[in-house]
Every structure is written in structure tokens, then in C-alpha cells.
């Protein structure tokens, strides 16, 4: 596939392949690169942050040269708490203003008492 950041930057998105300090490859699902950081971010997902194995590998990669480990656990997805799947593109979440649920309760009394 031909890619030209000058002619059409949207054709240049690709999955990221990361290597740790000893050269072991780490694949981060749906983590992308592109001509521009914003474009790459928008076409990526948060899948890795919900998967224990991927999260551990990512954490190990970031803190590989540090004695102080970041003690964290992956996020837990539940359809009861989020309408966004782990595979939802970041662009979609941003376009929806990161809102999980609109509060459509109308109170004229509260408005006029302010």
C-alpha cells in the first residue's frame, strides 16, 4: 500500500510495533502511528489497558529501567458502567465528548432559583 503524508496523510496509519530494551517485540492491539500524532491517537483504541497480559507488558516496557514499579491494574470494562467498548476508537469517544450518559432531567425550578 502506498503512503504519502504529503498527498493524503490518512493513508499512512499503521499498527505500532514496539521493542523492549533487549529487542523483544511487543504488539499493542490497535495502537497506531501516522503522519500526525492526533491522527494516530484518534485511530487507536484503549484495548491494551483492559487486557491483563498486554497491560503488564506495556507497564514492564515503560518501567524497564526503573527500580520503582508503577503498581497498577488494567481497567475493568462493564456494559453497566460504560457505553464504549474497549475496541472503540478514541476518535469516537472524543466526538461523543467523552460523555457516558446524558442527564436529560429538566428542572425549570432549579434553573430559575439559581
Residue 18 located in a structural domain: yes
| Cα–Cα nearest to 74, from 92, 59, 91, 90 | 59
pTM: predicted TM-score of the whole model, two decimal places: 0.74
Tell me how many domains the chain contains.
1
Per-residue model confidence (pLDDT) at position 2: 67
Helix ranges (H only) for the chain are: 37-42, 52-62, 90-95, 108-113
Per-residue model confidence (pLDDT) at position 13: 77
Residue 26 located in a structural domain: yes
Q: Do 38 and 55 meet the contact criterion of CB atoms below 8 Å apart?
A: no
The one-digit pLDDT tens for each residue of the chain (114 residues) are 567 888 877 777 788 878 877 888 888 889 888 888 898 899 999 999 999 999 988 888 887 777 776 778 899 999 888 999 999 999 999 999 999 888 888 888 877 876
State the Cα–Cα distance between residues 92 and 96, nearest whole angstrom.
Answer: 6
Residue 42 located in a structural domain: yes
Residue 1 located in a structural domain: no
How many Å is the maximal CA-CA distance in the chain? 64
Per-residue model confidence (pLDDT) at position 39: 86
Residue 81 DSSP label? T
Per-residue model confidence (pLDDT) at position 82: 92
Note the Cα 62 to chain centre separation in Å: 16
Residue 49 located in a structural domain: yes
Range of the domain at 19: 9-113
Residue 44 DSSP label? -
Amino acid at each position: 500500500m502506498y503512503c504519502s503524508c504529503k498527498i493524503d496523510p490518512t493513508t499512512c496509519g499503521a499498527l505500532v510495533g514496539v521493542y523492549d530494551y533487549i529487542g523483544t517485540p511487543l504488539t499493542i492491539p490497535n495502537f497506531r502511528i501516522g503522519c500526525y500524532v492526533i491522527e494516530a491517537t484518534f485511530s487507536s483504541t484503549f484495548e491494551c489497558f483492559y487486557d491483563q497480559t498486554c497491560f503488564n507488558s506495556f507497564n514492564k516496557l515503560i518501567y524497564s529501567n526503573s527500580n520503582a514499579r508503577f503498581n497498577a491494574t488494567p481497567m475493568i470494562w462493564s456494559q453497566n458502567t460504560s457505553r464504549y467498548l474497549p475496541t472503540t476508537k478514541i476518535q469516537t469517544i472524543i466526538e461523543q465528548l467523552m460523555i457516558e450518559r446524558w442527564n436529560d432531567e429538566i428542572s425549570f425550578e432549579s434553573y430559575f432559583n439559581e
